[in-house]
Amino acid sequence: MANEMEFRTCPITGKKVYATTQNLMWINAVTAVVFILIGGIMALLVALTRWPAVHLLSPEWFYKALTAHGLNMLIFWIIFFEVAGLYFGSSVVLNSRLAAPKVAWLAYILMLVGSILVDVMVFTDNATVMFSSYVPLQAHPLYYLGIILFAVGALTACGIFFGTLAIAKADKTYEGSLPLFTFGLSAAAIIAVFTLACGAIIYIPTFLWSLGVIKNLDPAMYRLLFWGLGHSSQQINVTAMVSIWYLLGALTVGAKPVNEKICRTAFVLYILFINLASEHHLLTDPTLSPAHKVFNTSYFLYLAVLASMIHALAIPMAVEVAQRKKGYTKGLFEWLTKAPWGEPGFPAMIFSLLIFGFIGGITGVVYGTEQLSIKSHNTWAMTGHFHATVVGGTTLAFMGLTYYVIPLIFRREIIGKKWASAQPYVYAAGMILLILGMAGAGTLGSPRRHWDVTFADSIIPFSFDPTVLLFTTIAALGGILAAVGGAMYVGVSVLSVFLGRKLAPNEAKLVY
């Protein structure tokens, strides 16, 4: 293990990069990429099975692959990457040594053991329970234990982040307020603590139930607490993603937040309101009263939506101001047309913002209405909604950032720069087709988590409007294209990290 106080200075940002932080970021980011590879292979298999023309897997394998896809993408890929981001946002951005690096390694090991346990259980047919693992559908006890270990590890990583903030403050490694990026990540980490607490409250009794210690668990209570984890963890992603948008804006065009007060207030709105809004999962459940639903999923939800609306202005505004300062002032849009579209970070940020905001945000607000939830609950349109937010939004932003982390932090030259530049376009195009296909089919009633929408094996014959099959085909083609984009990402990042030319200490490469 490297000396805790050993650091180098980044020639581009002037930040101190401690060797311990760099190693921890490296291991967490590389692990994240391994999980996006597993999740991506599952994604392709699922897409090829949902497409009636191919219908690749058997039902047993389909439900198994779908469970693995959800867990590997939504939990393992995203959270390992976020942990790397938390160490970057605290230690590197604040020029501080990382708090308790040995504990950070312990957190990593807990998360790794947890995720391997979960994957082994899923692939050995012991946990075909979907991402949500709704009680009373039971998995092997080791599955729940895996989730618990992973959550404890992630919570520990949040602790390391807060500890590093305290050390930086005590050592006066920065002056004045926290930088906006770190402020945003702090909001994400605060939301993460609530989220993981919900996870502990529900997964510990569920683990005991699977062992037979507890006899009965109310499935409705499970749903309430599960979504305190399941949806709130997406709010961590949203908050981390918005922070990364600000960062990518700075890295690609030198964008600077126009009004720090407004940006920071928006992050505070996320902390206050976004988690209770997660109850919109229960809008068509037989358990909550209308007043309760209105308060949490309408009143609270829209205050969180307001925060997103504020970022939706602040980020493009910061980009426009930065571009106009560079002299791109002709007409209304020269700042946009002369933007660095050939650099992967810029299109990744713009597509992430558009897919998240326009598709994910609008569908989310619409489906989150009590009455319209009746039209979308459990349909494939819902799957479309969260692919827009978590994949088109969060994952694409994380991908864009990777192309900067590799040269700046891991000190390797990117192999296949042209592939890197094209990747956000391919991935975004695939995701948009996938999402529109899902939304179209779902609006006509096509269900999520379903092996056969032609209902060939059912006793009572039923078939959908044939338009459903058309939309399903569009989604499948989009899924295949997105899988190509995902493979480009994994290929470029793995090759660069392991085989890329090592950069000299003062060599800075940000040109694509």
Partner 1 sequence: MPITSPETYWWKPADKQEKIWITVAIIWCLILFTMMPLWHFVGGQNPSVEPMKIRPDDFEKVASAFIEKYKVGEEAGIPVVKPPDGADVYLKGQMWNWVPILELKKGVNYKFHISSVDLMHGFGLQPLNMNFQIVPGHDNILNLTPSTSGTFHIICNEFCGVGHHTMVGKIVVKD
- Of 375-394, binders to partner 1 (CB under 8 A) are 375-379
Among 303-311, 332-340, 341-349, 475-483, the segment contacting partner 1 (CB under 8 A): 303-311
| Of the residues 200, 303, 494, 503, which one makes contact with partner 1 according to CB under 8 A | 303
Stretch that binds partner 1, among 1-9, 114-122, 201-209, 212-220 (CB under 8 A): 212-220
- Chain mean position to CA 236: 8
Does position 56 interact with partner 1 (CB under 8 A)? The reply is no
| Interface region with partner 1, contact rule CB under 8 A, candidates 26-34, 286-294, 387-395, 418-426 | 286-294
| Closer to partner 1 by Cβ: residue 3 or 289 | 289
Ranges within 230-269 binding partner 1 (CB under 8 A): 243, 246-247, 249-250, 254, 256-262, 264
Span near partner 1 by CB under 8 A; candidates 74-82, 206-214, 217-225, 420-428: 217-225
Applying CB under 8 A, the span of 24-32, 148-156, 373-381, 401-409 interacting with partner 1 comes to: 373-381
With binding defined as CB under 8 A, does residue 181 bind partner 1?
Answer: yes
The answer to whether residue 451 forms part of the interface with partner 1 (CB under 8 A) is yes
Could you give the CA distance from residue 414 to residue 509 in angstroms, rounded to a whole number? Answer: 9
Of 331, 338, 478, 491, nearest in space to 418 by CA: 491
Q: Does the footprint of partner 1 cover residue 23 (CB under 8 A)?
A: no
In angstroms, the CA 40 to CA 187 distance is 29
Tell the burial category of 133 from Cβ atoms under 10 Å away from its Cβ (0-12, 13-18, 19+).
buried
Among 47, 107, 229, 310, binds partner 1 (CB under 8 A): 310
Q: Taking CB under 8 A as the rule, does residue 57 contact partner 1?
A: no
Binding to partner 1 by residue 287, rule CB under 8 A? yes
**Residue 3 binding partner 1, by CB under 8 A:** no
Q: If DSSP codes are grouped into helix, strand and coil, which group holds residue 447?
A: strand
114 binds partner 1, rule: CB under 8 A: no
At its nearest, how many Å lie between partner 1 and the CB of residue 402?
A: 17
Rounded distance between C-alpha atoms, residue 78 and residue 67, angstroms: 16
> CB of residue 242 vs partner 1: minimum separation in angstroms?
11
Tell me if 218 contacts partner 1 by CB under 8 A: yes
Query: Looking at beta carbons only, is 172 or 502 nearer to partner 1?
Result: 172
Which positions ≥6 away from 497 have C-beta within 8 Å? 26, 30, 406, 410, 412
User: Among the residues of 51-75, which ranges form H helices?
Assistant: 59-70
371 lines the binding site for partner 1 (CB under 8 A): yes
* DSSP sequence for 155-194: HHHHHHHHHHHHHHHHTT-S-SSPPHHHHHHHHHHHHHHH
Instruction: Give the helix ranges, DSSP H, for 216-300.
Output: 219-230, 232-253, 260-273, 290-294
Verify binding: residue 176, partner 1, rule CB under 8 A.
yes
Q: How many residues bind partner 1 (CB under 8 A)?
A: 93
Report the residue from 5, 53, 172, 175 that binds partner 1 according to the rule CB under 8 A: 175
The answer to whether the CB of 410 falls within 8 A of the CB of 15 is no
Binding of partner 1 by 331 (CB under 8 A) = no
Q: Are 233 and 151 in contact (CB under 8 A)?
A: no
Distance CA 299, CA 235 (A): 17
CA distance 91 to 287: 45
Q: Specify the pairing of strand 7-9 against strand 16-18.
A: antiparallel
Give yes or no for residue 288 binding partner 1 (CB under 8 A).
yes
Residues between 136 and 155 with contacts to partner 1, criterion CB under 8 A: 136-137
Q: Does 329 bind partner 1 (CB under 8 A)?
A: no
Place of tokens 């942990």: 83
Of 69, 97, 140, 223, the one binding partner 1 (CB under 8 A) is 223
- Shortest gap between Cβ of 68 and partner 1 (angstroms)? 14
- Angle in degrees, CA 80, 151, 169, rounded to 5: 70
Non-local (6+) Cβ contacts of 169 within 8 A are none
